[in-house]
Structure 1
């Protein structure tokens, strides 16, 4: 079974279901899950090579303090070695935008940038099957989120048109040998739960929509 390391440093315990109602039970039935609420514990698990997936539930590792920066570097390095890391939960709601831009660029070699914090109707785009299964994902819904700009079309999962540009509610990219996912939702509803599971490759056929709609074709980058 995959090993999932959950980083929760701001007091909103993932294990108490304060973030998502159904995500934890599904993860526990499909993976081994450990929640770290201290830097020392998180660093120990990463150094040991234990996690195959890291869920970052708040922006604490982005703070410009020594211990935070060391853990951020460890997460970035470990991701590039083959781990799947997902920024989710309270992350988008509380992260500082200029700092997020710097982290995407300097730690993960991505051109993603923080965009507009707003509410929009969003729709699903298709990703290659090796990146994410789309069968279990909602095809469109209304969401309040921190959207990303400058995301290449091939890395977009959910999008909204903002003028002539497309902004990403969800993004997923290869980073070295691993993958980095971003979920911009600031609420904790079923749709982001499904997206997180799909990014973890822990969604199952029983999670699929019974009556799938036509998914819009991906625009050219």
Structure 2
């Protein structure tokens, strides 16, 4: 069974279900889940190699104080050694442009913060070995912090802003692991489905495809 570590440091408890109504019950039925409310507790779990998935629900790991830096290094190292790390929840709502540096220096990605906006967003067709898309809605209109400079192969949902394409959600291989980003600042069904798929915890019963779709 996968081990999911949830990082919730800024006075918010993921287990109170203020974010996504159905995400926690689904996670609990499909994985072992631990929520860390302090950096030291998170480090204790990460340094033992316990998590197979880390959900980062706020931007504390992007702060420049010593404890946050230690945590960021530990998260990046475990990700490169096979963990799946997903930036989600309140992360995009309050993160700063320091995120650009973190993408580049800690995860070797050229992703950059683009714009905070609402726009039509469509599902791309990524490599099915990277993420399954049968449970994901084909399009919707979110409010999100979109990213630029995300290659098409790493873009899960794309929005269109002027002459450039921006990513609502990005997902990439980082070493032996994966890094996911969900820019949504609201907590509806669409990002909930996406997070489960990024965790590889989506199930056939979550599928939105009909039998006809799958046979065509």
TM-score (norm 2): 0.96
Q: CA deviation at 1:203?
A: 0.3
Q: How far apart are the structure 2 equivalents of 1:95 and 1:25?
A: 27
Who is 1:19 aligned against? 19
Contact 2:15 2:35 in 1 (8 A): yes
Superposed CA offset, 1:149-199 (max 9, x none): 000110000001112221000000000000000000000000000000000
Q: What is aligned with 1:106?
A: 105
1:96 corresponds in structure 2 to 96
SS of alignment partner, residue 141 of structure 2: strand
Aligned equivalents of 1:115, 1:61: Cα separation in 2? 20
Pairing 1:36–2:36 present? yes
Match of 2:171 in 1: 172
| Cα deviation, residue 210, structure 1 | 4.1
1:108-134 alpha-carbon deviations (Å, 9 max, x no partner): 000000011000110000111111000
2:30–2:201 Cα contact (<8 Å) kept: yes
- Asked whether the equivalents of residues 119 and 160 of structure 2 are also in contact (C-alpha less than 8 Å), the reply is no
8 Å CA contact retained: 1:10, 1:60:
yes
What residue number does 1:68 align with?
A: 68
C-alpha separation in 1, matches of 2:101 and 2:44: 26
Give RMSD over aligned pairs.
Answer: 1.3
Q: Can you list the C-alpha shifts for 1:25-84, whole angstroms capped at 9, x where unaligned? A: 000000000000001100000011100000000001100000000100100011000000
8 Å CA contact retained: 2:134, 2:209: no
Change (3 A) 1:47 1:125: same
Deviation at 1:12, TM superposition (A): 1.3
| 1:218 corresponding residue in structure 2 | none
Match of 1:158 in 2: 157
TM-score (norm 1): 0.94
Q: Which runs of structure 2 are paired with 1:106-125 in the superposition (5 Å)? A: 106-125=105-124
Q: Which runs of 5+ in 1 are unaligned?
A: 215-221
User: Could you tell me how far apart the structure 2 residues matched to 1:24 and 1:174 are?
Assistant: 25
Could you tell me which runs of 5 or more consecutive residues in structure 2 were left unpaired when the two chains were aligned.
none
SS of alignment partner, residue 117 of structure 1: strand
